[in-house]
Chains A and B, each alone.
Chain A
């Protein structure tokens, strides 16, 4: 029988599996570090190297490292990081969770869209800082207003991306589900939500980024702990080294949390057949 003769048509492994020369592999491994190391070198040269800038404006890397070590030894740094991480984690889970529920509903139902979407789009356009005084008035200066602000920041990217992902589901796949007798709920579970997963993950990544943004907005204005507080503390005591410790930590934490989501994305979206960029 002739059937099966086209089995040879299985697509070959991706070109990335090619063996590269050692030096090319090394370049690829090192590539992400080129810019940070270069910046660090430039920073060192501008301060300790040639003293181009006064230390109170731009302290040297060594001074910043010393400050970080002192803060760490005193337990202060851990307290600030823990406070911020906790706020981001709670706020992100809350905001993304509500966004997934509302986004699914609005994505599926044009009625829900008519009811909810105009209002949500209006709220989305309120700048983050505009919420702060009001939330403080309402919720005091405890954790609640900060977590709420982070949740607002996480909500909208997740919501917007999920709705658009659901709406872009391939009509032909929905039809397929109908032919195979799926119920409305079955269509959502087996077709629409998996199809919207790439958009959802994009939304989650942007939402997590926004969470950190909104966190600092909240902590800058009213807090006694957290990285935003550390920044304000540095400002009040004219300590640029403390500010830089805060800024660097925000960069590292933001990158780390995004990396975790990217890992999740790679595992959940192995099935996508995108361009993926050239080597």
Chain B
């Protein structure tokens, strides 16, 4: 499977200068067109995995391959969505999406692609608006369109829907899936939202410990599109709740603010 993996991490360790290890010998394979979620409490090193894969963080031990090539800094084939939209406030919606276009693309082709993407995320009406005029969900859709403008083959998503309200979050998750249906992009998603993980992913990897490692991987054996009320999700959810609870208790100094603390009240 390794040779064909879209993302492959082998015994990856990471420590920030002068600090402890954040990740210790983490291994993960993501097949092409697969959607995998990294689930874990805050501060468990989930984001670090994405930052390493996107090339934003360079120093690490172990082997890290995307599309079979070692990560050597940001490349257009890897798209990254952040927790915040990070739109350029001085650019209109259209120009923010155009920011993601490959620089080799001609003006006309670029404009056409931007229009297509705006249609895809249903923002054609808002094309001339400035970011300050957008709701949180709209802004995140612009960010998604900008990500897709570069035609990446791998999409890394760092808690992309955690800052919007529950209803908008569901809309965005459905949008993401409809995009996946069209493009079959490989997606690696980081979240602490169990329902999000179960709704979107083929597999859920639970990150635990300090330094973090993948403690277990849960396969979600349900076809998409899924019904959020599907009773088959119940046992999986319970299982992940338990796994996260253990993850939260794994290091007591984080249990208070991590999901471990929240779930204890269930």
Contact = CB atoms under 8 A, between A and B. Distances in A.
**Shortest 9 CB-CB distances between A and B: which pairs?**
A9-B135, A4-B122, A273-B132, A6-B137, A271-B90, A3-B175, A176-B86, A194-B90, A2-B171
Interface string A186-216: 0000110011010000000000000000000
B125 A3 contact: no
Interface residues of A, number: 27
24 contacts: A1-B174, A3-B122, A3-B171, A3-B172, A3-B174, A5-B167, A6-B135, A7-B122, A7-B125, A9-B137, A10-B135, A11-B133, A172-B86, A173-B86, A173-B88, A176-B82, A176-B88, A180-B99, A181-B76, A181-B103, A190-B88, A270-B130, A271-B130, A273-B132
B16 to A, nearest CB: 16
Contacts of A271: 89-91, 130-132
Contacts of A195: 90
B75 A181 contact: yes
Interface string A60-81: 0000000000000000000000
A164 B174 CA distance: 43
Given A1-B178, A2-B171, A10-B135, A179 B90 contact: no
Interface string A162-187: 00000000001101101111000000
Contacts of B138: 6-7, 9-10
Interface string B97-133: 0011001000000000000000001100110011111
A149 B124 CA distance: 53
Interface string B12-30: 0000000000000000000
Given A3-B122, A7-B122, A181-B76, A172 B175 contact: no
B255 interface: no
Interface string A72-93: 0000000000000000000000
A178 B80 CA distance: 11
A272 interface: yes
Interface of A: 1-7, 9-11, 172-173, 175-176, 178-181, 190-191, 194-195, 197, 270-273
B260 interface: no
Interface residues of B, number: 39
Contacts of A179: 54, 56, 74, 80
B170 interface: yes
Contacts of B99: 180, 190
Nearest to A9: B135
Contacts of A7: 122, 125-126, 138
In this complex, the member of B90, B121, B125, B171 whose beta carbon has the largest number of chain A beta carbons within 10 angstroms is B90
Interface string B52-67: 0010100000000000
B2 interface: no
B74 A181 contact: yes
A5 B172 CA distance: 10
